[in-house]
Amino acid sequence: MDQSMDNSLSNKCYKCEEKLLDNLNIEFNSWNSIVVLWNKYQIFIYENYKFESAAKVFIPDYQIHRLLVTNNYLLCLDINGFVHLSTLKFKNSAQKLMKCTFQPRDQGIKACVNYSEDHSLSLKYESEAYFLSLNKICSNFQEVKKVELHYRDTWLLEDNAKDKYFLTHWKIPENYFGIFQKMFNIDKLSSHHLIVLTFDRFTVYGCLFDSEVEEKTNLLKLYSCPSEICSIEIIGTDNSYMIIGLKMDIAHLNTALYKLVIANNTFMYTDGVTTWKAENVFSENISFKQFYIKNVNDFLQCGDQLICTTFNQLIYVCCQDEQSYLKPVIKEYTSAQELLNNSEYLNKVFHEVEKGKELAKKLSVEEAYLAAMSLSKRQEIMDNVIHSAVSVSSSFLEVMKENKEELTLTEDISQYFQPGLLVITVRIKCNAQGRLLDIISDIMANSDVKLQVILSNEHKILKQTSMKMSKENYLIPLQLQHSTEINVHIRLITIIPGTYDKKQKIWTELYNKNIKLTSEHFIRANVQKSLVCQKQPIDDLEMSILKFTNQYGSQFELTDISKHTSYSMYVRLPQKFDPCHFNRCTSEFMKQMLSSQEFLQSESQINFMVGKEVVSVVLVNDGFSKNRKLTITSGNLKITSNIRNFFSDIVYRDNPCKPGEEFIDNSFYTSVENLQKVVKQCITTSSSFEVFLVLMEQFEEQVIAMIPV
């Protein structure tokens, strides 16, 4: 390395001549005075603070995520969760470049820290569970203790990215035993450590750990914040503190912490541009000093010296004395008489007041942008704040009849009176209260919040609508006559402009909801309309036969002689079926037909259209047994299944089966056993598809139709 020294400051700066593949991080071992500079691809070892030349250089064959230094070993955690060890006692001391000295010792590790002089503590993900693993740092990385982590509430055990985990610990002094016994509701503490960790850099958990602890320990939720956590430090003073540093990826806002180091009552931190030291943090005499070093990537404190690496691949070693700090401004304010004459004082004051008002407005807008960015990362909060619902109507007049509240049209009104039209109603409602309601209101007032609705099926996007969010109810026309399933994707998005160039904008997503509309939402019924068009479209033959059948079906029976295969499914009806109220029907037609005397007495059937398919519903009642059932038949298996589940939901949602009211008789089990034998025979003999359809019909009629589901 090239060494340059500022004699007046007694500080040193080193320019690294090695070809670096990434920015350098620092690790230090006070037991053997070894400083390790490393990045994802390289490791440089320096002995006795001699930064003129590296004693050893490692080129591992994996990417490093975390590095620990002990007395005799280097411990590396790679990006795939493997732990590698290498001894610091080299056989060939003259050899400088080392390539393949690391050996893998463990896997599934998410984070690790030094626990003691020769032990490490790791957060391990194994068999869909998290563990704390205490290992002795030796040649075989011996496992001393393994404790499973438990949480009392619902806890999603996800295997997150490596940079989302953070782990630290603190040995609890005896004078804190009472506090932690009460906090964690335990009877006795001995040599326990407080473990603080996070799995996603948003929520912080804590637990107690000891080498003698049982096989399980309970986690306690300590803190949750909307911004990503940079670091966590625990300080033991008169009162215990947990310091949490935050980082943000929002370019136009104030830069948050990049690195934080705490020693007793002193903080040292950097935002990646400037580096500061804060003294007497927990008193009223807090003071701040700025180091002269710029663009710091990583730093650590070695005694009274500060060792830093920068983004410019420089290494600084400086003493923490007055010569290492920038000189503060002596006068905080300058007298106006030194700058202006008396006649300009008042105008200048007014000008500054106007500037203050403009600054307050900009701060309000920036606050809305900050809140939008924070809420966009907490979808679980927005799901509880924003509620959305979707309904489908076959005409605009039907929507106007059923809705008394104000409706917003997304297109010209003439588009809502086209024949064969579907009208999608999207409802958005905010249920926030208190401070959260104020935050949402500020976002709506200061940000350009837009509602985006995407209608699609499994093949393509059918329609995409985007409008400014101002009302609660929106009507979207869709020209699609033969719909059976549609996905409705609802998004609330807002624009955030750049700080230096407002033309450079980014989009952030406040709310995201996907609603699937299945076959029962697209039932086409023969409902008399009050609207008469001068050029009335003529119904096709299929619709005319359907209307005729529904009106005169009790007097005769029509037979469908088409060659397509029909599928039938069944719903078992409860004994008190007649008084059931079908409050989920999508039209007045369904209400009338399902409650008609002819249908309830099995004298007629109901026919309606879903897309291109005709669906028939028959109430089967032989007059002898109590097992009445609905038969739903159509030429599309998926539509048949959706309509069957729709009727099942109507019947059993308001009429739950109670003990003693609904039961399955012994003949059901005989039918299941006989059907099982026939299915086995069908499999062994490789029967045709027609035979399989017969078996499916028997299964639906003899098994599914007998179960109240």
Closest CA to 422 of 451, 389, 455: 455
For residue 518, the model assigns a pLDDT of 82
Which one has a higher pLDDT value, 330 or 444?
444
pLDDT tens-digit map of 349-375? 788 889 888 888 888 777 777 777 777
Which one has a higher pLDDT value, 243 or 595?
595
Q: By mean pLDDT, which of 90-94, 237-241, 400-404, 502-506 is the weakest?
A: 237-241
Give the pair of three-digit tokens for residue 640: 């048949």
Arithmetic mean of pLDDT, 47-52 = 80
Q: By mean pLDDT, which of 11-20, 26-35, 227-236, 250-259 is the weakest?
A: 250-259
For residue 179, the model assigns a pLDDT of 81
When pLDDT is cut at 50, 70 and 90, the band that residue 123 belongs to is very high
Give the pair of three-digit tokens for residue 152: 């009392």
Domains of the chain, earliest start first = 2-162+235-324 (2.130.10.10), 379-517 (2.60.40), 524-663 (3.30.530)
Query: In a 3-state reduction of DSSP, which class is residue 531?
Result: coil
pLDDT tens-digit map of 199-244? 888 888 998 898 776 788 889 888 888 777 777 878 766 555 555 5
For residue 302, the model assigns a pLDDT of 80
Arithmetic mean of pLDDT, 81-109 = 77
Which one has a higher pLDDT value, 136 or 523?
136
**3-state DSSP of 544-582:** HHHHHHHHHCCCCCCCCCCCCCCEEEEEECCCCCCCCCC
Give the pair of three-digit tokens for residue 212: 């003698």
For residue 555, the model assigns a pLDDT of 57
For residue 427, the model assigns a pLDDT of 87
For residue 526, the model assigns a pLDDT of 56
Q: Are strands 142-150 and 216-218 parallel, antiparallel or unpaired?
A: parallel
pLDDT tens-digit map of 446-469? 677 888 899 988 888 888 888 888
Arithmetic mean of pLDDT, 187-200 = 85
Residues in the chain: 709
The answer to whether residue 96 scores a pLDDT higher than 50 is yes
Residue type present at position 576: K
Q: If you average pLDDT over every residue of the chain, what do you get? A: 77
Helices (H), 483-540: none
For residue 76, the model assigns a pLDDT of 92
Give the pair of three-digit tokens for residue 58: 């490692």
For residue 479, the model assigns a pLDDT of 83
Which one has a higher pLDDT value, 546 or 273?
273
pLDDT tens-digit map of 633-646? 888 888 888 888 88
The answer to whether residue 659 scores a pLDDT higher than 60 is no
The answer to whether residue 499 scores a pLDDT higher than 70 is no
The answer to whether residue 9 scores a pLDDT higher than 60 is no
The answer to whether residue 581 scores a pLDDT higher than 50 is no
Give the pair of three-digit tokens for residue 464: 């995409």
Give the pair of three-digit tokens for residue 647: 């009727």
Residue type present at position 255: T
